[in-house]
Amino acid sequence: MKIGNLEINEKAYLAPMAGVADRAFRELCRGYGAAYTVCEMASAKGISLGDKKSRELLSIEKDERPAGAQLFGNSPETMAKAAEAALLFSPDFIDINMGCPAPKVSNSNGGAWLMKNPQLAGEIVKAVVSVSSVPVTVKMRSGWDSEHINAVELAKICEQAGAAAITVHGRTKMQMYAPPVNYNIIKEVKNAVKIPVIGNGDVVDGVSAARLLEETGCDMVAVGRGALGRPWVFSQINAYLNHEVILPEPPVTQRMTVMLKHIKKLCEYKGENVGIKEARKHAAWYTKGLRGGAAYRGKMSTVNSLDELRELAFMLVAENKQEE
């Protein structure tokens, strides 16, 4: 499959997740076979005002490629300027966020708010495409709420404005992440446009990925929450889609090894003080479902060093020995 001139070889990519899909996690997921990754969304307004943190979100390194920069905003001019700034970091594509349901974003007329303003959304795509030397993609939802399902309309507008691919999360903004996922709207979008359409929503393994692909006809799937504490989900998806093989969840020793590798990267890239604080939420995801996991999650939520976390991981492995 191609997104513009970008060749994509697998069927599942890591969806952008603010506060989660940073460099450490993107590299880890690419290592497990994610088709590509997308940076955490960056504010176009923040970039235009010279905000250091917003610009830092645009940085992309070799081991996470192919990778795209994601922008959010509501001004065509500001979004175009932000895209020009993003291009300095050589992204493989630029993604425009029209799906974030977080009140902080949508209440400031960004993210999913653009679902309520399809003409403005189209102008934004056109403005970004006009300055971009790489493909421009869009991530959207099915609509604002159940009475305003307009993903098909918006997808057509984005395609006409020059978008090279569209990701559709089969829920409305108001649904947030509550079930069910609307497969039909993803299918309708796929049938309405000629550019690649990626389905998003509740993909947690190979079987769910295959079901989404089959029932909607979409070209790929995006994996977000299904990868939390489970970066290996991409190898599971690829194994099932390519060979119809169901890979089991890794044993606890391997899970803790991956967790420590992840946290070590976090500390290396952000410094141990920041990295270990961010590691606490990841540790909770990695230990979900393990014997004694709840107790260890409580302990891991207060660790202040990588050594402390490593010691707790070894103790958790010992407690779960019987499962291996």
Whether residue 293 sits in one domain with residue 177: no
Whether residue 206 sits in one domain with residue 66: yes
Whether residue 118 sits in one domain with residue 57: yes
Residue 322 pLDDT: 60
Residue ending a domain, among 243, 261, 293, is: 243
pTM of the model: 0.95
Tell me the CATH number at 285. Answer: 1.10.1200
Known catalytic residues?
100
Whether residue 208 sits in one domain with residue 61: yes
Whether residue 215 sits in one domain with residue 313: no
d(CA 165, CA 2): 9
Whether residue 297 sits in one domain with residue 239: no
Residue ending a domain, among 187, 219, 243, is: 243
Residue 279 pLDDT: 95
Whether residue 66 sits in one domain with residue 44: yes
Residue ending a domain, among 213, 243, 273, is: 243
Query: Phi and psi dihedrals of 131, rounded to 5?
Result: -110, -5
Query: pLDDT digit of tens for each residue in the chain (324 aa)?
Result: 999 999 999 999 999 999 999 999 999 999 999 999 999 999 999 999 999 999 999 999 999 999 999 999 999 999 999 999 999 999 999 999 999 999 999 988 999 999 999 999 999 999 999 999 999 999 999 999 999 999 999 999 999 999 999 999 999 999 999 888 999 999 999 999 999 999 999 999 999 999 999 999 999 999 999 999 999 999 999 999 999 999 999 999 999 999 999 999 999 999 999 999 999 999 999 999 898 888 999 999 999 999 999 999 999 999 887 655
Whether residue 201 sits in one domain with residue 109: yes
Tell me the CATH number at 190. Answer: 3.20.20.70
Print the domain residue range for 280.
Answer: 252-323
Whether residue 114 sits in one domain with residue 171: yes
The total number of structural domains that make up the chain: 2
Whether residue 200 sits in one domain with residue 150: yes
Whether residue 270 sits in one domain with residue 134: no
Residue 319 pLDDT: 87
Whether residue 268 sits in one domain with residue 153: no
